[in-house]
Amino acid sequence: MHTRLYLAALFGSLLLASCSSDSETPSENSVQEAIHQQYDLSLSEELAVFAPLPDQADNPDNPTEVNKSLLGQALYFDKRLSKDGNISCNSCHNLATGGVDNLPTSPGDAGENGDRNSPTVLNAALHFAQFWDGRAKDVEEQAGMPILNPVEMAIPNEEFLVNRLKEIPDYQVMFSAAFPNDDDPITYTNLRLAIADFERQLLTPSRFDDYLKGDKSALTVQEKRGLQTFISSNCTQCHTGVLLGGHKFEKFGVYGDYWKWTGSENQDPGLFEETQDSLDLYRFKVPSLRNITETGPYFHDGSVADLRMAVTIMAEAQLNRQLKPNEVEDIVAFLGALSGEIPAWAQQPAP
């Protein structure tokens, strides 16, 4: 039975009880509890498309080790990883603001902006690929690419940065501790492994995870109603799994040109730029919805600042559905339950 029918039956029974001379008027708490129970019942079979965030984001080829993670943390915040020392990894993926810089596109070392929005680094290690076009297979590969990008961190080549790091006494000690079996531990490969090891610690369990694990009090009535609307509106065609996204590519603009909704000045071809396959035109990696309330502006070009507008656009462009204002509000409320915090120790440079 649909949730609305459950609730209609519930209110009907409560009304009859309140009109009976032998019954007391139900308390507000009992009504709320009954509403919670009906939503929980109606959602119980629908939750299988999601999964709780794991405790770790392991990579057997880059096992987590404390000294390696601490080195990665130091490198993540170090502006010396950019040519002129103006930006660090944290500049575009600020751990104090949801793992992003909240800009449509990010300025690089020389102040020139890139052409795509910087996605959050939080939970990124669990994505099936990295970047909007998936050109890196994992965070180990991704970690080394912005450093050498001429528009981003602008380091001219790997040797340039390795030589710079070898002149820093602290890094001589930290690389040796992180890679004790290497005769020459300060290498570009080890730099990538260390940064990725740190990024694999940036998981953000949320109240939604508590709900999936059985804590029915973890979500409010509105959040449960938003979850039900999210599912019934078929948002789960793309936003499922552990990350509610981050596991496949999808065309942006299934029911029309995306830029007609977003007002994008640049018509980004998406994955097509990498594959030159016409089937990949305007396809992008489906973003994770975790921490989405903190990671605006939205879409691959940061063209939409308001989350409510982004939800409305996605319904129209991807599902050919016009959501009512109250449905949008409920979905946004649910999305708020997907936010979590990284450990406090990870939000600043390693000591």
- Which residues form the catalytic set? 152
Buried b or exposed e, range 81-111, using 16+ CB within 10 angstroms: bbbeeebbbbbbbbbeebbbbbebbbbbbee
CA-closest candidate to residue 69, choices 194, 165, 204, 202? 194
Instruction: Assess contact for 288 and 244: CB atoms under 8 A.
Output: yes
Q: Which two tokens stand for residue 77?
A: 């915040």
Q: Which two tokens stand for residue 130?
A: 């990295």
d(C-alpha 127, C-alpha 243), whole Å? 8
d(C-alpha 195, C-alpha 186), whole Å? 13
Tally Cβ neighbours within 10 Å of residue 322: 9
